[in-house]
Structure 1
């Protein structure tokens, strides 16, 4: 059921809000002139009224029990912030130019995660548009936008959103977001939107005053969980499901990324994720374009990504943190926090071969057995990366990989991600070695909440004692330090790295063996003592062979590749890429010992 203010045209608007336990709800119009419109409740707890004399731009609250004015839980625009009135908008007036747009197939997707507020100096949707051509030239065909649901103030990662249907006003609101999506499609770029159904932020969150939107049945990491399986849960499920369809339908978004699904609690007969996947499939079929759902998951549970026909939830793909952790520890040598479970080259080898590293064995950091076997799951079910907003921002100094490893390490990390049989993902600025941090930042107005967040972060960062001073999440300076230095991509080592990424992406697109995300057509092996990994992939007559050296020393090896005319396509040690000079031949000679430079990779393709 559609909820919120639905403008019908000709000054008519239908208001619908779910409040099953309240005795009185009315629409309180506050501008252009004050007016109170009573509502009627149906048997499922929805209060409704169809009103005339309501034009787009009208500001309103819902008056609860005759004495409390609250914004619409399904508000489509909050022009005065999370505590102000909601605004009626006409969602059908935008002139879309993407009629022929059919999206990018998931297995061809190259994902670029970005945060609207720090991607440009202006921090708006429209300010991003001039940069789309640069992303396209790099080889990006999908941007993943961190949450834009209305949050308090102007600075936030987005996971404190409290109006899930409202595009953030300081980013440019609904009109700005539609312009961005439209422009993306004109550039051949899909839009993935990060959405949050495991919790809502604290400030401006009035949902519990409308009804039992939350449950204390579960102890969620971020507070009370959304009520998806307890009494009155039907209305909450509809709230979230309708929100997902809303972004696909009204904003032409191509895919949704679900935040931390381990915090979505549902013990009902049909899990929320399964129902969501079914509805998105139905929407895709009805609209003639495939829309996708991806998920962040800390479960290592293949049921998340398996089709519902074999007992899965039907989510199209999920983030694979195991790949990141295995790669990060080899590059940096870090062994604290969850990194203590990683550090061996054989773990990265397993991730290349299967997906999950932890597939049921004991994980020291978790103090339990963890994960399920992902060997049979296709490569396009996994999204892999060397950096994300989380992996950067959840460090006391919020260092990107560019501050932790050398240029050689950055090139090696990129090669591991883009030559894998999985969907590659990069975080904004990674492609040119951006060195600005990505701290956690907020702009709340509640002083008690601000202090609570500071103390929470201080506690979280105790594990980094002695490594640096925590930045104040509330300070504008903390936010400004995170803005990209976009022009760096044109100079020095940054330009070299950008071109290296571009070359990797071009090879991925043009070599059939790399383009097909098939773990069955793959061989991978490693030598633990040398920290060297060998990867071979093929697709019909196309074959590639890659050597990755994670050692900080030269490594001698004998190529374990089959016979053939192997021609070198890329070598990160070449002086072209600011390397010290390659020691590997242009044509691979089998049964002969060769030497590869420290922290470098070389890619060979078999010539036809």
Structure 2
């Protein structure tokens, strides 16, 4: 079983099955007939059954009352409540067998939802687009969560069987083929994983292992109790499973601020240490990234390899929010924390990472948020202008391209893609796609009604404004509207935006990436007239310099000699044109 505690695994003459069910009195294995499992210590039920081969389907019967899938199922061919399938992971023949990954500083991410990335909506369907991504200058795919969810369509954050890549996208070998083909093209592949809750449909753990949960609630489901050793092991083993069996290059952990561990050594620390051991054993680069609304800089260390106990980087929501307010003028919800001076907030994010580094957040009722972050490497932050949340949690799922002047967007891209932080795009953003990405799911009737009602409460203002234009999250048409419009990539505007992104990312790899090892924050300033300036101290002793006019008018200045060699943008003199961005490198 390759050292796994949970689930089914092939052994010499059959298969081994293990279920942690501390609240069960009896557990039977359902194959072609019933097999009673032997109760061991600490709530474990185990059995070794001869002549079981890969492809066998099974369930567990709990106390002669309910049949459940394996919570560590490797594959669910018939959705979350169907039988689990025994998978032989050793049978896949990897073509990119010598792949070791890439250093973190080379990372340029693109976030992708498998089901809407192509018309096929499958792992195999994505392979035909890998050449496009590599040619664009992207070096890493980040897949939204794949853990088996209820129904045929979902963002992925409602997964209930963490070890099973969802069958709606293909079989396990199809996912491996996608990762293999990406590696052959020099592309890393990351996976978004959710360890703060289980989805609302198809989770049976509460029946036979209620100690998985504390009884408290996150906004999305019951709080998982990582003080329980078996529960902690379940999550850590799952992370190592994705990294080892599927050879993902890294993981992005969703909303870790919703993980509650009072008075305990953090599960996050133990998971990071386990990944460090795997990295050393396999001689591979493994990168772990957080989403953390609490802005805990102490969890991050981009420089140590592997960052034992800490994490390579964090999604920088502050950077996005400041830019969004600056570009759109929207101030609802958490954007309200950036209304005073969004351009100065952009400057602070460029100068030291987080915007909120211990200041009071009005959106959080005056609660202090964040820790000082300027001492970290700039590569400890993943910066972006759009992602699934910031598009999909809008009432209409509309992108920036439908709401903001293209010159403003291109200026923001020129800053984001060349700044030392790790940049991330959302699928289609590289050519300026306007395809919406609304929230969608596929739950049963009662839960479907609850989801609809919840969305109506959360976006009451939008329903009042747009009425029937707000898409029904349960309708298949809402999902279909999110399928990426690849044909627009070939239109004139798409080709122009794609050429810009390719040019910027080529300059990044040539001029910025070789200097990122040992780079440090410098300073940044935003003036009332729209002038933004910033600099960073690079690892080779050079200084990377930014000058940008983020206004619609020209900015006059005294003629002066600007030190450093221009690497991108116009050579400006007495006047800085509207939405112009210039980057220079001055030798140390």
TM-score tier by shorter-chain length is over 0.9
Which residue of 1 is the match for residue 104 of structure 2? Answer: 106
Secondary structure in structure 2 of the residue aligned to 1:398: coil
Q: Aligned-residue CA RMSD in angstroms?
A: 2.2
Which residue of 1 is the match for residue 29 of structure 2? Answer: 27
1:2-40 CA-to-partner distances (Å, cap 9, x unmatched) read 311101254x100011112211111111xxxx2111111
> Partners in 2 of 1:238 and 1:124 — Cα distance?
30
Secondary structure in structure 2 of the residue aligned to 1:277: helix
- Confirm or deny that 1:487 pairs with 2:487: yes
> Partners in 2 of 1:22 and 1:465 — Cα distance?
46
Which residue of 2 is the match for residue 436 of structure 1? Answer: 435
> Partners in 2 of 1:116 and 1:346 — Cα distance?
36
> Partners in 1 of 2:348 and 2:178 — Cα distance?
39
1:453-473 CA-to-partner distances (Å, cap 9, x unmatched) read 000111111243554232111
Indicate how the Cα distance of structure 1 residues 467 and 167 shifts in structure 2: closer, same or farther if over 3 A, else same. same
Which residue of 1 is the match for residue 147 of structure 2? Answer: 149
Indicate how the Cα distance of structure 1 residues 471 and 457 shifts in structure 2: closer, same or farther if over 3 A, else same. same
Indicate how the Cα distance of structure 1 residues 518 and 363 shifts in structure 2: closer, same or farther if over 3 A, else same. farther
Task: Quote how far apart the aligned CAs of 1:213 are.
Answer: 4.7
1:415-440 CA-to-partner distances (Å, cap 9, x unmatched) read 12112221111100001111010000
1:240 paired residue among 220, 232, 235 = 235
Contiguous gaps of at least 5 residues in structure 1: 572-583
CA contact (8 A) 1:323 1:356 kept: yes
Which residue of 2 is the match for residue 384 of structure 1? Answer: 383
Which residue of 2 is the match for residue 556 of structure 1? Answer: 556
1:322-351 CA-to-partner distances (Å, cap 9, x unmatched) read 111111111112222111111422211111
2:299 paired residue among 280, 286, 304 = 304
2:248 paired residue among 248, 253, 257 = 253
Which residue of 2 is the match for residue 597 of structure 1? Answer: 577
Which residue of 2 is the match for residue 577 of structure 1? Answer: none
Task: Quote how far apart the aligned CAs of 1:541 are.
Answer: 6.5
Given the two structures, how large is their TM-score scaled by the length of structure 1? 0.91
> Partners in 2 of 1:250 and 1:607 — Cα distance?
45
Task: Quote how far apart the aligned CAs of 1:516 are.
Answer: 1.3
- Confirm or deny that 1:178 pairs with 2:176: yes
Indicate how the Cα distance of structure 1 residues 460 and 600 shifts in structure 2: closer, same or farther if over 3 A, else same. farther
Indicate how the Cα distance of structure 1 residues 558 and 76 shifts in structure 2: closer, same or farther if over 3 A, else same. farther
Secondary structure in structure 1 of the residue aligned to 2:42: coil
Indicate how the Cα distance of structure 1 residues 486 and 471 shifts in structure 2: closer, same or farther if over 3 A, else same. same
> Partners in 1 of 2:116 and 2:268 — Cα distance?
31
Which residue of 1 is the match for residue 499 of structure 2? Answer: 499
Secondary structure in structure 1 of the residue aligned to 2:210: coil
Segment of structure 1 superposing worse, 313-322 or 596-605: 596-605
Which residue of 2 is the match for residue 53 of structure 1? Answer: 51
Which residue of 1 is the match for residue 277 of structure 2? Answer: 282
Task: Quote how far apart the aligned CAs of 1:599 are.
Answer: 2.6
- Confirm or deny that 1:2 pairs with 2:5: yes
Task: Quote how far apart the aligned CAs of 1:312 are.
Answer: 9.6
Indicate how the Cα distance of structure 1 residues 419 and 463 shifts in structure 2: closer, same or farther if over 3 A, else same. farther
Task: Quote how far apart the aligned CAs of 1:308 are.
Answer: 13
Secondary structure in structure 2 of the residue aligned to 1:47: strand
Secondary structure in structure 2 of the residue aligned to 1:545: strand
Correspondences of 1:496-575 after superposition (within 5 Å): 496-512=496-512, 515-516=515-516, 520=520, 522-527=522-527, 529-537=528-536, 539=538, 540=540, 542-558=542-558, 563=563, 566-567=565-566, 569-571=567-569
1:449-492 CA-to-partner distances (Å, cap 9, x unmatched) read 00000001111112435542321111010001001111222221
1:526-569 CA-to-partner distances (Å, cap 9, x unmatched) read 21x112201234544754432222212222234787545x44x4
Which residue of 2 is the match for residue 329 of structure 1? Answer: 325
Contiguous gaps of at least 5 residues in structure 2: none
> Partners in 2 of 1:563 and 1:423 — Cα distance?
26
Correspondences of 1:5-84 after superposition (within 5 Å): 5-10=8-13, 12-29=14-31, 34-84=32-82
Which residue of 2 is the match for residue 581 of structure 1? Answer: none
Given the two structures, how large is their TM-score scaled by the length of structure 2? 0.94
Indicate how the Cα distance of structure 1 residues 152 and 214 shifts in structure 2: closer, same or farther if over 3 A, else same. same
- Confirm or deny that 1:406 pairs with 2:401: no
Indicate how the Cα distance of structure 1 residues 541 and 515 shifts in structure 2: closer, same or farther if over 3 A, else same. closer
Task: Quote how far apart the aligned CAs of 1:87 are.
Answer: 0.9
> Partners in 1 of 2:260 and 2:125 — Cα distance?
37
